[in-house]
Structure 1
Amino acid sequence: MKTRAFVVACLALFCILGVCQGGDLRKKFYKLTCSQAEDIVRTKIQEHVSARPELPAKLIRLHFHDCFVRGCDGSVLLDSTASNTAEKDSIPNLSLSGFDVIDDIKASLEEKCPGTVSCADILALAARDAVSVQFNKPMWEVLTGRRDGRVSISGEALANLPAPFFNITQLRQSFESKKLTVHDLVVLSEIRFSACLTQPHRKIPGSNAVVALNFNCFDHGRALIRQFGWLEECLVGDDKGVCQGGDLRKKFYKLTCSQAEDIVRTKIQEHVSARPELPAKLIRLHFHDCFVRGCDGSVLLDSTASNTAEKDSIPNLSLSGFDVIDDIKASLEEKCPGTVSCADILALAARDAVSVQFNKPMWEVLTGRRDGRVSISGEALANLPAPFFNITQLRQSFESKKLTVHDLVVLSGTFSVQSCVKCT
């Protein structure tokens, strides 16, 4: 796995919540009052992440739960009192962690610059720096100057944060109320899953912020895709044996079907405009194909009287998007009969579906795959991770394919949202 993992891009996007607040936020806000502030945060985070590799996901989730209620004002960090139950102790926040890390950083800053650096800024910087550790450089800019909120009410967290039992319609409404999209919903699901990696048992017991959050600034794509290849590395990377089938290269169809990639892109744009959940569906379809025999399109083959194909295996019964691939294939057959493989169509379609909202290809897809002619239900059942797998079994399953826990977190988002869409 290359170091630029897609999951990190997903984790990073939530810190744009902190960057895009209104008010007097600027670069190096503490330059004159506490010049070492950001260095102190970075150093402490490096210490903690080295001992707790799951910390980036935890701090991003903590930052998101803070921002989703009153804006990024640090109110999620406040303790309850005898007369008030704070956000921290609201049911949706009982599984949050990382508070000890913020407290440790705050203590170090108080020694150096008493009463200067806000907890809200510490949380925004800590979330960014935790994600950035493995890259040895800040992965995005965090403006500073937030003022800490002094109001923290449990009921507001309960009212604003999406409930775990929400169906896809309710989730969409909740996100739309904050000017967020279904794409942001997919990403959040990954954050929630990564927190589960280290919390198998959920615990469930019986003046205002001056700087307001501007949710209109929440645009993860433009800030992140400039630096990351999204799913390129976990779905079409050569280092995982995904690109099977021979001599893959750029513009494989340049001489035999020069318009092939344009046709795929145009058809995908038509379908995604009518079905905004399609990117998740096609990425999942592509993954289920690649996880069995490599990216050979075998998941697209139909069963016969003598053989049950992968498509009809129990793990694949909830897949969708086959009609889209069929439609693209039909268009290509009209233009270039018997030329473009279904395996390449699926790889291109998955990339192009994700890329629609950005108006440009988000990663490069090499082409030249050959279609597999063998598709066996039992192989899908044997190779795809079962829904009842615990984290140890999931890790073993992914390791058998030379995938990492990062890839596991990435794909969980696609699976969870795909399931919600199907079940409503």
Structure 2
Amino acid sequence: MSNEAVAAPPPAAPPAVSARTLLPLVAPALVVGVGSSLLFLVVSGLAEKLQDVLWTDLPDALGIGRYSSLWMIVLLTATGVLVGLVVWKAPGHAGPDPATLGLGGEEPLPPYVLPGLVVATALMLAGGPSLGPENPIIATNVALAFWLGRKVVPKAPGALWVSLASAATLGALFGTPVAAALVVSEALAGKPMPIRGSLWDNLFAPLLAAAAGALTTTLIASPSFDLGLPHFGQPGWGDLLAAVVVSCTAAALGMAAVHAFPYVHGAFARLRHPMLMLPLGGLVLGLLGALGGHLTLFKGLHEVGELAADPEGWSAGQFAVMTVVKLAALLTAAACGFRGGRIFPAVFIGAAFGLCAHALVPGVNVSVGIAAGVLGMLLAITRQGWVSLFTAAVLVASPSILALMCIASLPAWLLVTGRPQMQLSEDGKPLH
């Protein structure tokens, strides 16, 4: 026999999937997409109304400054008490420890857990802790879709409802199906395809659900991630250097918080009761808010718009304080038991860091600084490469930025890959 290696046969192409296989998925995808968006809009709308009462009507009636240090401390502590009561007394304790969960959708929660989870999320969004709605809303939509889908179409695989609801909620959150398609593609990498066909065959139903969720949100709420920054034209070598340096430095800063996460979580866990953990967490968040100002409260998306509207309105020191305070607030809120996600506050942290870089070095373009800061911070906090790249690019809405961010993401990814994540196992150890 010849010593030459025998050439391996080329891999077989995936079998063709007919339209007859995909068409039955259209109706479930549309229903789940619209339903997921509506639930997100209802919870967000109720939280915004409650936020207006707590932060505008009530302090005005009491003759207290709306964002005075005293009011921030009192209200965030009270939010911790209220969420602690829900976690303590609600059936299912508003879901598992959020420090052990990823973006959502891993395992559908039992339906009896959902009321407590929704109430805890709405209270958190209204009260000011630095978390977003994405994780609990995805978990709620996944659980509802799984439970109702198995009743209506019992022969359909349970994984179908999980993928549809996850994609639909991401579409609703971002107002576009692109982010959902990227996340689903990343999730399918290296795993057996649910449908024995091409990647696009497997993306068909989730992408349709995401499009339905995004369109519903757009028609009702008209969301926009575009910060309205000045047009960014042809990038230069200085822009490339700035993008790489800012993204890598932001990623390193985010990794500092990731490494601290199990220790902060362990400190709160020693209290062993939500009525101690959450009120204390709320008090710490109130003190941080008093230090960093009202822009460091809440999920941070509206506040990012305020920063971007006046990049010269704060000094480098003030941007640095907001960056560190918001990062500490995210770390505290995620560790003490508040139900919420980390993407939106990480966007604020990255944007404030990028604006700090611009204030220190005026040659750093504002758009480049914000996009690179958000990219590096999201890579560290979420470990979601596509979501990080997409979010950084969509904030600036300039085609030239995308090429810079693609290049800047590579060295930043080397700093975070294979290292601990901001997610813990049941025994409190960080996942890798």
TM, length-normalised to structure 2: 0.27
- More helix by percentage: 2
TM, length-normalised to structure 1: 0.28
